[in-house]
Chain A
Amino acid sequence: MEFLRPASWQEALAAKAEHPSAVPIAGGTDVMVEINFDQRRPGWLMDLNRVPELHEWETGEDSVRLGASVPYSRIMENLRAELPGLALAAHTVGSPQIRNRGSVGGNLGAASPAGDSHPPLLTAGAEVEAESVRGSRRIPVEEFFTGVKRNALAEDELIKYVHIKKATGPQQFSKIGTRNAMVIAVCGFSVALHPESRRVRAAVASAAPTPFRATEAEDFLSAALDEEGLWDSDRIVPPSVARRFAELCSAACKPIDDVRGSAAYRRHAVGVMARRTLTWVWESYRNGGRGGARNDEGGTRCA
């Protein structure tokens, strides 16, 4: 195995063009596990830790430009107001040590159906900026996941940034694990309110070959909230609406039975998470979380 250590982004792109099978590595929380378990033996490993822009983020008018290697712990500490859904998801990743090393870029590169960062990216609205020596392009995150552990990157491309829309309303993230910390998702769920466009977005992880948006559920709920005039009222979401939303989220799943859980449980649990997280975001919205700047964790304290 050859080890490449580009000192700059341009060098990294050149190296990737020269060695398209090179596996990029930053925190190593996923790649190293696969190598240690002998599941993967890449001919080249490319260390991106010397590329400074990958470790930086910039908060713009409407979105956050997140460097691919920014670790989860930075997101939790610094971007809770702008990216509350992603910050909550970051909390659920691995252990503190893993959160200090793992990053959204790595999560996207691995493209696991169970990736914790994927649902909040889908509900917030995000684009993946991929670059190669041929040029740069932005891939909407909805189009990024193409199959189990497969993504839309060309073989000479690297992920540079993720552009994530700043929250304009409350966001939530919830995931099922069979222990209370340090666990891979049996299934995960995120919901985000977008009051400015009067839309609700919902996304699911680990209940289909790729993370996905439950668009039918989104459309139903967005329409129901509009029809009932709820965005401008102080009323709760009618239980029948919440229930239908949950059913639609659940029905959108195409889960499998595996060692972590049954398909039936995943479908069931997505429904429960959908109902609960909708209640939390709506409660937060009614309590003034309309600007999105407020901490939208519903008073939740995390470690």
Chain B
Amino acid sequence: MADATRLPTTITQVSQGTAAKGGIGESTLRPDGTLKVTGEFAYASDLWHEDMLWGCTLRSPYAHAEIRSVDVSEALRIPGVRSVMTHDDLPAATHYGLEIQDQPVLAKDRVRYHGEAVAIVAADHPETARRAAAKIRVDYAELPPVYDEESATREGAPLLHPGRDDHHSGHVAHPNILHRQPIVRGDVAAAKAEADVVVRNDYEVGMQDQAFLGPESGLAVPAEDGGVDLYIATQWLHVDRDQLAPVLGLPAEKVRLTLSGVGGAFGAREDLSMQAHACLLAMATGRPVKIVYNRYESFFGHVHRHPAKLTYEHGATRDGKLLYAKCRIVLDGGAYASSSPAVVGNAASLGIGPYEVDNVEVEALALYTNNPPCGAMRGFGAVQACFAYEAQMDALAEALDMDPVELRQRNAMSQGSVLPTGQEVDAPAPVAEILRRVKERPMPPQRQWESSPSEGAGTGVDVRALPGGLSNTTHGEGVVRGVGYAVGIKNVGFSEGFDDYSTARVRVEVVGGEAVALVHTAMAEVGQGGVTVHAQIARTELGVSRVTIHPADTQVGSAGSTSASRQTYMTGGAVKKACESVREKVLRLGREKFAGGHPAWTEGAELRFEDGKIVTAGGEAVAALADVLEDEAVEDEVVFRHRPTEPFDLETGQGFGHVQYSFAAHRAVVEVDVELGLVKVVELACAQDVGKALNPLATVGQIQGGTTQGLGLAVMEEILVDPDGKVRNPSFTDYLIPTILDTPAIPVDVLELADEHAPYGLRGVGEAPTLSSTPAVVAAIRNATGLALRRVPVRPEHLTGTGTGADA
């Protein structure tokens, strides 16, 4: 594209040194790592075109209101304004959505949440666009909001989406219930009669934000063929395209997407944000249009983690055998569907945790309300459940006067266990073992904030190691240590019968006398390390050193979403499969060329690709790969699928719903200032089975990142929403995420028990550590304070009994 800069480019990676080959199992370094640390990396917000206009979005200040009129005339009169669009200006489809097309591209007649997009402006300067948006006059008439289960389902409650006809509308009891998934197994009533101990509690999880650092951004460029090229930070290029094309009134092939630099995702880029708006303005003006949100707008520009209210009941025998479990999980989906139905499926099917329980009654549902829309976030429905069932395990252990780890181990699932959905776990499930590993670690020293007495000055205090940190609130006064444990279960890949596949194109050719590989996929690199892993797989499979990763775009088939811990499994699997196919083609070529040469060519012997050569099983080189290829490029594009799954039965929840499971356990050690209610997490040890660590360094990084995100939910991260649906803290001043001083030492124990169904035996890594981290930290705070703490995040008010109203 002429006159444009900071567009994505190919990334070439060469394996370093002679001993390391840069294949799988090695900790090769990220090609984008140094660029990101030094500020050189081109993020989507850096995209630039000399002729571009700037787009701006006008958003609703109300959570629920009727739009009586929209007057754009004053905005249009501002010099430099090129286009102003409202719902009435949309050229084709007016709604979009991942599963249910219920979300307006621009609101029509009614706004359903605080921050909903109402109008868009393109101008030749971002400031002009912003001023013009402020001049759009919208006449709102506020409507009473729906904000929880009671207000959503009571008699006469306003309906978020009257006249629903989506595929869930037929089986829900109320139109403000988006989806409901029960799971029933065994006989809970009979089991309850046998129980020696019953523990029942209510829990609550606040609304967490993904808080990625790179705000929503992209550049839409109108093309000569009437189509549009969109450079975009997203998690799934093809699903963006498939939602965009109908809105733009274009055939899919005329909507071309290229992945731009992504500054984190964690689920927040699964839904469209500014994509349709930028493309619509670009087509309306015939000019490239860039939209970049600021931090404030970003909080309104993407979905969040579902806040949840959960009720759990467990019954057990005196010696700690779980007899039954019941739970009800109510997720607030907010105004639009997003991926809520799938989140419900996860919350239900994983709701009992990694335990063997024969008698189960689960009910999970998502509500439509006037709160901010919620959807995908790392852990995807399993996080909320894990907080509750792990709190239950501790409560049960206390009731039984039993060690909480021992209780968990006694009920831990293992390979061959049957889940409440009836699905057998047919791969290693080392739940008891990962708990044992975190428990056996040595404890961090007591009073770790004290430096050794020196120079006769008495004992020194390092406030950074204390609750409150640099704020200097304690020098040890009021500080009590606590230890807590938790374990969780997460599914990997898309579930419930979804046709989940990924595509990869791989080419080998000779460049400068050396055989090199080109890997082309549509995988969104959002920080997970796929670009590194793809090069490693190509080296292992093709024996090359130099691998070039083509920018991800829609010129190749879909790679599926970078979510559900699935990309290494799925697109990694597709790259592996494509390499295998290319290998076969190369060997065919070699047999043709060298038919009379080395006998291995004709004997049908197994030939391997190593160090740029084709070698026999015994290691004897039969030809250089470059000599086989000469000036020919060998290429193939393949599609990889994981084994099929099936939907859960809508009444019993039975079904082979998930592809794979992953397990992580944590031990949290915290210091709590019990007088001030401040918490310092000292250590958060994790053990996780990853099947096979394709890149051990990246694997540990994923586990540490997920662990930290879970810590954030435990003690600080929450979007606060007023009862009238207004977001109270849309900024990094008041939505707090952990700093390095809040992040403890995170020792990681990586197990590699192969799953025979998966490429290289690997298991998705990214989400499982986010689950168990939160309940482990809260268990440790409970251990230190003796408080019940049924809600996350835990705030100082909860620890000091100084809350207000509902908080107290």
Q: Is the CB of B458 within 8 A of A299?
A: yes
Measured between alpha carbons, how far is A92 from B741 in the docked complex, in Å? 12
Binds B, one of A138-146, A158-166, A217-225, A262-270: A262-270
Is A154 among interface residues, defined by CB-CB distance under 8 A?
no
Q: Is the CB of A301 within 8 A of B736?
A: no
Binds B, one of A20-28, A62-70, A177-185: A177-185
Q: Smallest Cβ distance from B676 to chain A, in angstroms?
A: 5
Q: Is the CB of B734 within 8 A of A180?
A: no
Q: Is the CB of B459 within 8 A of A179?
A: no
Q: Is the CB of B676 within 8 A of A269?
A: yes
Is A272 among interface residues, defined by CB-CB distance under 8 A?
yes
Measured between alpha carbons, how far is A265 from B799 in the docked complex, in Å? 10
Is B739 among interface residues, defined by CB-CB distance under 8 A?
yes
Is A216 among interface residues, defined by CB-CB distance under 8 A?
no
Is B496 among interface residues, defined by CB-CB distance under 8 A?
no
Q: Smallest Cβ distance from B364 to chain A, in angstroms?
A: 30
Is B488 among interface residues, defined by CB-CB distance under 8 A?
no
Measured between alpha carbons, how far is A302 from B466 in the docked complex, in Å? 11
Is B800 among interface residues, defined by CB-CB distance under 8 A?
yes
Binds B, one of A168-176, A193-201, A206-214, A233-241: A168-176
Per-residue CB contact flags for chain B residues 499-543 toward chain A (1 = under 8 Å, else 0) read 000000000000000000000000000000000000000000000
Q: Is the CB of B796 within 8 A of A261?
A: yes
Known: A260-B734, A261-B797, A264-B804. A180 touches B474 (CB 8 A): no
Binds A, one of B92-100, B242-250, B725-733: B725-733
Q: What is the chain B residue whose CB lies nearest that of A38? A: B130
Is B283 among interface residues, defined by CB-CB distance under 8 A?
no
Which residues in B have their C-beta under 8 angstroms from that of A302? 463-464, 470, 472
Which of A91, A182, A184, A259 makes the CB contact (< 8 A) with B472? A91
Which residues in B have their C-beta under 8 angstroms from that of A257? 804
Q: What is the chain B residue whose CB lies nearest that of A267? A: B802
Q: What is the chain A residue whose CB lies nearest that of B793? A: A178
Is B294 among interface residues, defined by CB-CB distance under 8 A?
yes
Is A88 among interface residues, defined by CB-CB distance under 8 A?
yes
Q: Smallest Cβ distance from B145 to chain A, in angstroms?
A: 19
Which residues in A have their C-beta under 8 angstroms from that of B478? 272
Q: What is the chain B residue whose CB lies nearest that of A37? A: B296
Which residues of chain B in 723-764 are interfacial with respect to chain A, using CB atoms and an 8 Å cutoff?
728-729, 731, 733-734, 736, 738-742
Measured between alpha carbons, how far is A301 from B296 in the docked complex, in Å? 36
Is B410 among interface residues, defined by CB-CB distance under 8 A?
no
Q: Smallest Cβ distance from A175 to chain B, in angstroms?
A: 5
Q: Is the CB of B736 within 8 A of A265?
A: no
Which residues of chain B in 179-228 are interfacial with respect to chain A, using CB atoms and an 8 Å cutoff?
none
Q: What is the chain A residue whose CB lies nearest that of B460? A: A299
Is A97 among interface residues, defined by CB-CB distance under 8 A?
no
Q: Is the CB of A299 within 8 A of B457?
A: yes
Known: A37-B296, A37-B731, A179-B736. A301 touches B797 (CB 8 A): no
Which of A172, A179, A298 makes the CB contact (< 8 A) with B716? A179
Q: Smallest Cβ distance from A13 to chain B, in angstroms?
A: 30
Which residues in B have their C-beta under 8 angstroms from that of A184? 733-734
Is B475 among interface residues, defined by CB-CB distance under 8 A?
yes
Which residues in A have their C-beta under 8 angstroms from that of B625? none
Measured between alpha carbons, how far is A149 from B795 in the docked complex, in Å? 27
Q: Is the CB of A262 within 8 A of B802?
A: yes
Known: A178-B796, A301-B460. A36 touches B294 (CB 8 A): yes
Is B720 among interface residues, defined by CB-CB distance under 8 A?
yes
Measured between alpha carbons, how far is A54 from B82 in the docked complex, in Å? 45
Q: Smallest Cβ distance from A152 to chain B, in angstroms?
A: 26
Q: Is the CB of B739 within 8 A of A37?
A: no
Q: Is the CB of B472 within 8 A of A92?
A: yes
Is A249 among interface residues, defined by CB-CB distance under 8 A?
no
Is B165 among interface residues, defined by CB-CB distance under 8 A?
no
Measured between alpha carbons, how far is A261 from B224 in the docked complex, in Å? 56
Measured between alpha carbons, how far is A260 from B728 in the docked complex, in Å? 10
Measured between alpha carbons, how far is A303 from B182 in the docked complex, in Å? 52
Which residues in A have their C-beta under 8 angstroms from that of B736? 178-179, 183
Q: What is the chain B residue whose CB lies nearest that of A186? A: B796
Which residues in B have their C-beta under 8 angstroms from that of A265? 677, 796-797, 800, 802-803
Which residues of chain B in 553-602 are interfacial with respect to chain A, using CB atoms and an 8 Å cutoff?
none
Is A276 among interface residues, defined by CB-CB distance under 8 A?
yes
Which residues in B have their C-beta under 8 angstroms from that of A281? none
Known: A179-B716, A179-B742, A303-B464. A259 touches B473 (CB 8 A): no
Measured between alpha carbons, how far is A176 from B472 in the docked complex, in Å? 8
Is A273 among interface residues, defined by CB-CB distance under 8 A?
yes
Q: Is the CB of B467 within 8 A of A180?
A: yes
Known: A176-B676, A269-B676. A262 touches B463 (CB 8 A): no
Q: Smallest Cβ distance from B295 to chain A, in angstroms?
A: 8
Q: Is the CB of B795 within 8 A of A276?
A: no
Q: Is the CB of B477 within 8 A of A298?
A: no
Which residues in B have their C-beta under 8 angstroms from that of A44? none
Known: A273-B473, A298-B475, A302-B470. A181 touches B729 (CB 8 A): no
Measured between alpha carbons, how far is A268 from B262 in the docked complex, in Å? 44
Measured between alpha carbons, how far is A302 from B738 in the docked complex, in Å? 19
Q: Is the CB of B468 within 8 A of A88?
A: no
Q: Smallest Cβ distance from A174 to chain B, in angstroms?
A: 5
Q: Smallest Cβ distance from B670 to chain A, in angstroms?
A: 12
Q: Is the CB of B470 within 8 A of A181?
A: yes
Q: Is the CB of B294 within 8 A of A176?
A: no
Which residues in A have their C-beta under 8 angstroms from that of B802? 262, 264-265, 267-268
Q: Is the CB of A301 within 8 A of B462?
A: yes
Per-residue CB contact flags for chain A residues 76-97 toward chain B (1 = under 8 Å, else 0) read 0000000000001001100100
Q: Is the CB of A178 within 8 A of B795?
A: yes
Measured between alpha carbons, how far is A276 from B476 in the docked complex, in Å? 10
Q: Is the CB of B471 within 8 A of A174?
A: yes
Is B328 among interface residues, defined by CB-CB distance under 8 A?
no
Measured between alpha carbons, how far is A184 from B473 in the docked complex, in Å? 14
Which residues of chain A in 17-55 are interfacial with respect to chain B, using CB atoms and an 8 Å cutoff?
33, 36-38
Q: Smallest Cβ distance from B394 to chain A, in angstroms?
A: 24
Which residues in A have their C-beta under 8 angstroms from that of B742? 179-181
Which of A88, A180, A262, A303 makes the CB contact (< 8 A) with B803? A262
Measured between alpha carbons, how far is A182 from B470 in the docked complex, in Å? 9
Measured between alpha carbons, how far is A37 from B461 in the docked complex, in Å? 39
Is A280 among interface residues, defined by CB-CB distance under 8 A?
yes
Q: Is the CB of B469 within 8 A of A180?
A: yes
Measured between alpha carbons, how far is A301 from B464 in the docked complex, in Å? 8
Most chain A CB atoms below 10 A, which of B460, B468, B738, B739: B468
Known: A91-B470, A260-B734. A301 touches B451 (CB 8 A): yes
Which residues in B have their C-beta under 8 angstroms from that of A36? 294
Q: Is the CB of A300 within 8 A of B461?
A: yes
Most chain B CB atoms below 10 A, which of A175, A177, A184: A177
Measured between alpha carbons, how far is A163 from B614 in the docked complex, in Å? 79
Is B406 among interface residues, defined by CB-CB distance under 8 A?
no
Measured between alpha carbons, how far is A300 from B473 in the docked complex, in Å? 11
Which residues in B have their C-beta under 8 angstroms from that of A262? 797, 802-804, 807
Is B89 among interface residues, defined by CB-CB distance under 8 A?
no
Measured between alpha carbons, how far is A234 from B212 in the docked complex, in Å? 54
Which residues in A have their C-beta under 8 angstroms from that of B296? 37-38
Which residues in B have their C-beta under 8 angstroms from that of A269? 676, 796, 800
26 contacts between A and B (CB under 8 A): A37-B294, A37-B296, A38-B296, A88-B472, A176-B471, A176-B676, A177-B468, A179-B715, A179-B742, A180-B469, A180-B680, A180-B742, A181-B469, A181-B470, A181-B742, A183-B471, A186-B796, A259-B720, A259-B729, A261-B796, A262-B804, A265-B677, A269-B796, A273-B676, A276-B475, A276-B477
Residues of A within 8 A of B (CB): 33, 36-38, 88, 91-92, 95, 172-186, 257, 259-265, 267-269, 272-273, 276, 279-280, 298-303
Residues of B within 8 A of A (CB): 130, 294-296, 451, 457-464, 467-475, 477-478, 675-678, 680, 715-716, 720, 728-729, 731, 733-734, 736, 738-742, 795-797, 800, 802-804, 807
Known: A178-B795, A181-B742. 10 other contacts (CB 8 A): A37-B294, A38-B296, A91-B470, A174-B468, A178-B678, A179-B469, A260-B734, A268-B802, A299-B460, A301-B461
